[in-house]
Structure 1
């Protein structure tokens, strides 16, 4: 009970110290609110409201059908321009796409020829250009196929492909980027806050005060773990309910309490990394450099940005020893696919086992550093 009381009151001291550190406090608030909102609303990876103009030199039924096939929300209503205005309009950045339908286009199509139809694309808007080109080819191909089949009286295709998209039916980028921003911020801030807590004690000279008190290194380290973990857990919960659901209107398929249980388990590993780096770094700038060396590879290879299947097989297997990989796996399963405990318990167990091992190593490192300091 005495150790528990020491850990509790030392954690309260950490919370008070954190609340008076306006830089770290602002970082936590920004990361789980404004940063998530900006990433969801600005990092769009789907085609939306692309500007398009059409040069109709054919003036046929087929050319009019193609022109009317481009409509919101993928494209703006097409503007009719003359052929000599294509280059000036593209140079001025007025349109992302300019479709040039040549003369006698319908006649050549019905005759079985393969006339050339030109699409001019402004690739400075890279995402819009790449996606829009694919959509434009699909739209034009569909309209030509329908027109020819009706004109020649051919039957429909023997195969009707029915595509059903689960969990994100409209392929909205914000549904993915906002949730992954929160998941990545958990690892980032757990490392920074726990590491900063150790470095701050050393820089302010309060570590010496703690060492002369009847406290063990384990009690000092555990107080930093639960205090900083509590800050992040509260911030994550508020971000999911207020930012994700209320402000962005993004649905969460699974149980948020179940996800929070997984977050608490994972925080033991993430804060342990912070404590370990805090024992190595002698100042906050050094902690920042060490943080980048650890967080960036762990984040890029965890499956949060690209699936593990797209990595080399040996690398995908190697990353199974990282709790961040299992954390991303069960976070996506719960929040995207509505998985329950019966599905994610292997990931929970892997995070707890590997995290406990690394947590023990971090505590041992912290104890050795404290003993050397005395």
Structure 2
């Protein structure tokens, strides 16, 4: 082995990596991204869970008890409710994660040492359910409680009382799989045409930029629906995951995510110069999506600025839609803010992709 020739090859590779901005960005960007995400953005100690309080007792003692619960920082009031039915409706629509119900006979229950407060939890997220149980384990030496060692709070979990992780994971897997495959498939679509020489044939045709882009999207949309069906079928048969809402709403939510991811993939394909670059850029999209969307780690535990960034990711909104429909039986129209977010994302990404694409080889 000749050392001079070996060094020449090493030097050539280093210069090539220096010219490849995507590879250079991955060398530095991936460690920085993971360090920031895992060290700063991801927090398993949940605080500030969205909540509503229905204080039907409205006494000084009941208000003191509620204030003690709010002082823990586990829950934060974000909606108003007066009855148990209103709390349940807010839970079903995903407006809150925790509902606190103080019954009219709170004073008597407290005097008798019985459970005086009910905490209603959206059990479709097992992490949120575990965090809400902390409220039932608070120190009970304050004036709002009966006496030490008496438990006045009961936690009632809905939608997943058995706390089966599959019930929470399987609906989210639909979004994760669609995000990974749809962005990757279309991310290499335009680049593949250039590398195989098919772009010359497309340039010679009268097809417009919009027609080419939409034509690229539609076949993969059908593939995405097939993947959705496979995950749903396996989830129902193997893990007994329920579909409490409309199956049509499930597929409509999947279509919204598919179109959003395909439009993002097309935008990536107009920027990448090779299929390998397209796959590299896809990784930069997939990593934040799976970590910040609420699939792996609780959304409520992230800092506010990270939550704002996560709102830009299609998977964040899809998880709210699919879990709301499948696990809580909500309708898509009740979850319209997330539908609107996915629709706007699709339009913006598709417009940018069409604007950037040029029917020429350079």
Task: Tell me if TM exceeds 0.5.
Answer: yes
The alpha carbon displacement at 1:333 in A equals 1.1
Question: 8 Å contact 2:187–2:279 — kept in the other structure?
Answer: no
Residue 251 of structure 2: which of 243, 255, 260 is its match?
260
Question: 8 Å contact 1:323–1:355 — kept in the other structure?
Answer: no
CA distances 1:115-147 after superposition (whole Å, capped 9, x unpaired): xxxxxxxxxxxxxxxx9xxxxxx9xxxxxxxxx
Question: 8 Å contact 2:175–2:257 — kept in the other structure?
Answer: no
Q: Distance in 2 between matches of 1:330 and 1:268?
A: 15
Q: Which residue of 2 aligns with 1:224?
A: 216
- SS at 1:164's partner residue? strand
Runs of 5+ in structure 2 lacking a partner?
1-129, 131-136, 138-148
Question: 8 Å contact 2:178–2:227 — kept in the other structure?
Answer: no
Q: Which residue of 2 aligns with 1:328?
A: 319
Q: Distance in 2 between matches of 1:300 and 1:319?
A: 9
Task: Mark the structure with the bigger radius of gyration.
Answer: 1
C-alpha root-mean-square deviation of aligned residues, in Å? 2.3
Relative distance call for 1:303 and 1:158 in structure 2 (3 A) is: closer
- SS at 2:327's partner residue? helix
The alpha carbon displacement at 1:311 in A equals 0.7
CA distances 1:167-198 after superposition (whole Å, capped 9, x unpaired): 11111112222222222111111101112322
Match runs of 1:96-245 below 5 Å = 159=151, 161-240=153-232, 242-245=233-236
**TM-score, length-scaled by structure 1:** 0.54
The alpha carbon displacement at 1:161 in A equals 4.6
Whose strand fraction is larger, Structure 1's or Structure 2's? 2
CA distances 1:80-110 after superposition (whole Å, capped 9, x unpaired): xxxxxxxxxxxxxxxxxxxxxxxxxxxxxxx
Q: Which residue of 2 aligns with 1:289?
A: 280
- SS at 2:156's partner residue? coil
Question: 8 Å contact 2:186–2:262 — kept in the other structure?
Answer: yes
Residue 339 of structure 1: which of 318, 330, 334 is its match?
330
**TM-score, length-scaled by structure 2:** 0.55
Match runs of 1:54-73 below 5 Å = none
Q: Which residue of 1 aligns with 2:27?
A: none
The alpha carbon displacement at 1:292 in A equals 0.8
Q: Which residue of 1 aligns with 2:11?
A: none
Residue 250 of structure 1: which of 229, 241, 244 is its match?
241
Q: Which residue of 2 aligns with 1:17?
A: none
Question: 8 Å contact 1:302–1:324 — kept in the other structure?
Answer: yes
- SS at 1:163's partner residue? strand
Q: Distance in 1 between matches of 2:197 and 2:184?
A: 19
Q: Distance in 1 between matches of 2:283 and 2:319?
A: 19
